[in-house]
Amino acid sequence: MQDAVYEIVKRLEKAKTRIEQTHFFGSAVTVSASERRRAQREAPAALCEFQAALREALRVTYPNPERLGCVQVGTLERFAYGMPDDADGILGHVLQCSPCYEDLLALRGEYRRRSFRRLEP
């Protein structure tokens, strides 16, 4: 298990570096237009890579198969849609419970799909 966690940490660090490079975080450096376009193209891939590594980290370190202490579905839905009751408490649990994290991602995806459908003419 230690080896698996070590590999996940390496993936997270690599993804974090890619995100920093694509967003020029904390940088007052002027970049060329071509560098900025390249960064904008690579940003979604870097974020997906980070999210995949985070999902794997949660799956390995916080499996919670019995769903102990899990947030109620309605509460998780409100959190996913940006109307949290107790944001700190919910986020604290979600970041230590793989099933709730997966549920939150699914709810966020559903929310985005609904939002895009409303925008379509």
Lowest-confidence pick of 78-82, 85-89, 110-114: 85-89
The pTM assigned to this predicted structure is: 0.63
Distance CA 12, CA 121 (A): 39
Q: What is the pLDDT of residues 34-47, one digit of tens each?
A: 776 776 677 677 77
CB 39 within 8 A of CB 24: yes
- What's the mean per-residue pLDDT of the chain? 78
Measured at the alpha carbon of residue 81, what is the angle toward residues 80 and 83, in degrees to the nearest 5? 100
Token look-up 């970041």 returns: 95
